[in-house]
Amino acid sequence: DTGVSQDPRHKITKRGQNVTFRCDPISEHNRLYWYRQTLGQGPEFLTYFQNEAQLEKSRLLSDRFSAERPKGSFSTLEIQRTEQGDSAMYLCASSSWVGQGRNQPQHFGDGTRLSIL
């Protein structure tokens, strides 16, 4: 079990630039989640995938954000035309979802800390 890995760990960029983050989940996990965490807050849900299908997006997610999981394995999160308010820790998590009535913990990566200048 190599755990969930995220790349990069830190990203500093100028306002208006596009950024892309990558998440590699635990290989046997079929669900993958993206969260955003800002100072003093808990992780806030952004979107999640079951295999390659994106099942839900937060209503708070602007159209500048897009996520993909093309082959049901790794996922990317892209933010276009970044704004200062996008500065946050972006966390990825994965879990195994097996039918109804099963509830497994989510396994998190170390996150990508984004700073917008």
Binding-site ranges for another protein (CB under 8 A): 3-4, 33, 35, 40-45, 48, 56, 58, 91, 93, 103-111
Q: Closest separation between CB of residue 4 and another protein, Å?
A: 7
Cross-strand bridge partners of residue 34: 47, 92
Alpha-carbon distance of 78 to 81, in angstroms, equals 10
Q: Which is nearer to another protein, 82 or 111 (CB)?
A: 111
Q: Which is nearer to another protein, 8 or 16 (CB)?
A: 8
Q: Closest separation between CB of residue 83 and another protein, Å?
A: 23
Q: Which is nearer to another protein, 35 or 65 (CB)?
A: 35
Q: Which is nearer to another protein, 55 or 117 (CB)?
A: 55
Q: Closest separation between CB of residue 103 and another protein, Å?
A: 4
Q: Closest separation between CB of residue 22 and another protein, Å?
A: 15
